[in-house]
Amino acid sequence: MVRPQPEQPKPATLYERLGGYDAIAAVADNLLSRLRADSQLGRFWAHRGEDGIRREKQLLIDFLCQNAGGPVYYRGRDMTLCHKGMRISQSDWQIFLRHVNSTLDHFQVPAGERQDVLGFVESTRSEIVEV
């Protein structure tokens, strides 16, 4: 008689390792505040209404949660379409990455999770940077 092997526990998703929805929402809020206050990047939000900014933040939270393996469905457009025509440069991208790192520092994100987050962020560069 062959006994069934016990199921191996599934490894935790990045979503779980980061602390779930509330933690990712706090990171998004912190990051967007930094980006909006930045002298170079703030131009992307300069003439947006608060409702539009809140909607954009919710889309960012949903996008991050879904891509981290969470139980959230992102209903927004793909990254290329969202950012087309914004003229996001390599310089903008480098400043953005500094803010991402500062946000991860602020929340003391552990090295493994930080590496996974930065790897994911970097994977979106070609869809976002135009010039």
What pTM, to 2 d.p., does this model score? 0.89
Q: Which CATH class is domain 16-128?
A: mainly alpha
pLDDT at 118: 97
Q: Which amino acid is at 12?
A: A
Residue pair 53/121 in contact (Cβ under 8 Å)? The answer is no
pLDDT at 7: 79
Q: What are the pLDDT tens digits along the chain (131 aa)?
A: 678 777 778 889 999 999 999 999 999 999 999 999 999 999 999 999 999 999 999 999 999 999 999 999 999 999 999 999 999 999 999 999 999 999 999 999 999 999 999 999 999 999 999 97
